[in-house]
Amino acid sequence: MARFCITDETAIQSEASPAESGQYQFATAERSVFKLLITGIDDSAIVPVVDRKSFRAATAGKLEVLDEMITAIDEELAADFPNAEQLLDQNDNLEAAWARSQHEIELAHDSIRSRLARKRELAASISRYEQRQAEIQINLGRFEQLEDVYRSDIERLDAIEEAGFLLSLGGDKECPLCGAPPAAQRHVHGIEEIEKARDAASSEVQKIKRQAIDLHTTMAQLDIEGNQIEMDLIVFDDELTRIESELADLAPIADLAKRRLEESQAVRDHVRKGLSLIEQKASLQTRRDELAALKPATKAEKPRLGVPSTAVYDFAQTVSNVLTEWQFPGRRHVSFDESTYDLLIDGKHRKDNGKGVRAITHAAFKVALLLFCRERQLPHPGFLVLDTPLLTYRDPLQSREGPLSADEQALSNTSLKDFFFEHLSKNADASQFLIIENVDLPAGIEN
């Protein structure tokens, strides 16, 4: 990568391509780096093309492995599936049988689940009814005791009323003991109080009798409810007995359906294995036929490793634009020679020029490459170091390079040096240029 952003004095004057070091053994890698820079695509996707001898050896090895695998499948089919041609029909029949068994077991399970749910409902209802029946028995026993209390209270109050009645009889007659007249008789309790006691007792008796009637009504209702519960319990017990009997009958049916399902599934899996072997054999045979039909790659099928022509054309136009900005003499028509990976400028190979022209055109190549990558948002280090690109403007008398050639002399007579620095300055916002030179700098270069 370094050669595309750091160029020393020897390299900039060299006749080799600016993309190469001139060492033959490194040319392929150096050209691939140049291709990566101007396309953004490397060579990682290239598949190596083998020669005919290697191709035949590899193909023969693969065919041998495939033949061994096919033979192994044939042996397994012969041992475990003597009637392999009937496997497809057997599989269809087994699928239908398996579906029927699955349907039977689902029906049996549905019947068992529904009866188990009803059994749970009946058990809950029986428990609830028995609890209510016990509550009714307890309440009836308490109400019978309350009825005895009401009866006892009524008898007591009737006795009070009867005694009061008897005491009130003959209260206005002479005393049978002493003969005193009614006016002279004195009693601790007057007859009025006795009458009040009788009235109170009579009222209380009526109240208790009404309560007794309500009690009898409640007891009658509880008795009716108890009888109904007893009949419901009989119905529940009968239904529970019937459901348990049905469950006992369904269990063997479900077990039988399950065994049928397991048996058909085992046979179906065995047949499926045979079909899978047949499919594997067909796939391997197809692969073998395709492999046997393959032929070694021709020269036309070998991958193209060079730079796409459209990319190098665009790059050459960028070099032409740079030379135009620098006011390079001539028509500045630039093309890319894919054989040398170098430039043709106005139909002349870059290497056929003098050192000074080779230096400035080498610099144009590197500057154009940086600008090309920036314009297309392709990766580039972003800086460029050029050592002695303006060799043409040397002093022929003091330079160790000797006198200028004709093309160098033509270039030195132009103002390319001024336009060179001005162009680099315009593009210095997104890039960095470091120029190592000993020529006289243009006036106003500090601007």
Question: pLDDT digits over 197-226, tens only?
Answer: 777 877 887 888 888 888 888 888 988 988
Other beta carbons less than 10 A from residue 337's beta carbon: 15
Residue type, 350: R
Residue 397: predicted pLDDT:
46
Q: Which of 391, 352, 340, 395 has its CA nearest to residue 10?
A: 391
Same domain, 202 and 333: no
Residue reference for tokens 């040398």? 340
Question: pLDDT digits over 249-301, tens only?
Answer: 878 777 777 777 777 777 778 778 888 888 898 898 999 888 888 887 666 66
**215, part of any domain:** yes
Same domain, 145 and 208: yes
**79, part of any domain:** no
* Residues of the chain under the 50 pLDDT cut: 397-398
- Residue 405, classified by CB atoms within 10 Å of its CB into exposed (0-12), middle (13-18) or buried (19+), is middle
Handedness of CA 323, 327, 328, 329 (dihedral sign): positive
Same domain, 339 and 405: yes
Is 354 within 8 Å of 415 (Cβ atoms)?
A: no
Q: Which of 68, 59, 55 has its CA nearest to residue 284?
A: 68
CA angle centred on 318, ends 315 and 323, rounded to 5°: 130
Residue 373, CA atoms < 13 Å, CB-side half-sphere: 23
Other beta carbons less than 10 A from residue 356's beta carbon: 25
Same domain, 117 and 175: yes
Residue reference for tokens 């005694």? 163
- The token pair that represents 337 in the structure block: 């020679």
Same domain, 430 and 283: no
Q: Which of 320, 349, 321 has its CA nearest to residue 334?
A: 320
How far apart are alpha carbons 170 and 370 in whole angstroms?
151
**297, part of any domain:** no
Contacts of 83 (CB under 8 A, 6+ apart): none
Which domain range does residue 269 map to? 86-292
Other beta carbons less than 10 A from residue 157's beta carbon: 20
Among candidate residues 269, 292, 315, the one where a domain is terminated: 292
The helix/strand/coil state of 334 is strand
Domain count, the chain: 2
- Inter-axis angle of helices 416-426 and 309-325, to 10 degrees? 120
Same domain, 329 and 412: yes
- The token pair that represents 360 in the structure block: 């400035």
Intra-chain end-to-end CA distance of the chain, in Å: 32
Residue type, 428: A
Sheet holding 342-345, edge to edge: 334-337, 342-345, 348-349
How far apart are alpha carbons 37 and 365 in whole angstroms?
13
Q: At 232, which CATH number?
A: 1.10.287.950
Contacts of 423 (CB under 8 A, 6+ apart): 322, 325, 326, 367
Same domain, 280 and 342: no
